Amino acid sequence: MPGENAAIFSDKAALIYGGAKGIGRAVACEFSARGASVAVADLDLDGARKTAALIEAAGGRSCAIRCDVTSEASVREAAVRAEAALGPTDIVMNNVGGILHGNVEDIPLSEWQRIWDLNLMPVVRSNAVFLPKMLARGSGFIVNTASFAGLYPFAMTRMPYVAAKAAVVALSESMALRFEPLGIRIACLCPGPVMTGVMETMKTWSVGVEMAGPGGELAVKSVDDAARTLADGMERGRILIPTHEEVWATLAEHWADPDAFIRRKSAAFAAGDHGRPRPSAEQVAAMTKPG
């Protein structure tokens, strides 16, 4: 299917669950800039309206919809409203997520359920709505947002999130295997360090515990960088789309000898190297700006 680049976004209708801010907002604007009309669904209706207004101000077509992705009925209602406004949905992005921090022994079972309801089950609920429609017409594009945390071990203080994002990666790969021969494209965006507001709503369950990052060799990217990387990857026919190409070398090292990789990470953490990414050029400029 690679090679059908021009047809992916032009004159297509997209629905982004979780498009009120951050990566979701940037992706909504990027899809619009490439020719799609975009429905923005989010629990934060004001934020969704701001995203839609940005798209319309740039000459695009958009609508904002309130949606709670932990509710099957709300996910279905958002789909109905998006199609009423923009026509049959060609591209669906399942982008809602949430994070937490703490030692696994301190995290209650209710938090496991909450994190899975935010990071994995919205994909399942969305699939229940859109897969039958896409199968019936033999076309469509589903994009799921995962994380570097689901690709290799480092996020040991975010284990419910790790498990959910690893499940999104595995689910997306199996969906591609099953549905791409039937005309339905699948992509899985895997963000590494990207400047989003996800930490603002993070619950912390342990005191004095360091948060480990994906690696000091990685630089923090902007949400606009992430959005362009996703759209470019979709146009090139990629399935797993990381925000940082450097991750492929890390994954090769991991799978060459997982035991050795885990023990090297453990030794690095014990030595005080928590894998925090480098600030971006924009961040450095902001930090060194006079005044």
Q: Which residues are catalytic?
A: 161
Q: What SS3 string covers 220-265?
A: CECHHHHHHHHHHHHHCCCCEEECCCCHHHHHHHHHHCHHHHHHHH
Residue whose entry in the numeric block shows the structure tokens 């290799």: 152
Other C-beta atoms within 10 Å of 185: how many? 23
Do residues 155 and 105 lie in contact, with contact meaning Cβ atoms separated by under 8 Å?
A: no
| For the chain, counts of helices (H) and of strands (E) | 10, 9
**Alpha helix positions (H), 102-239:** 109-119, 121-137, 159-179, 223-235
Distance between CA atoms of 153 and 145, rounded to whole angstroms? 18
Residue 34 is which amino acid? R
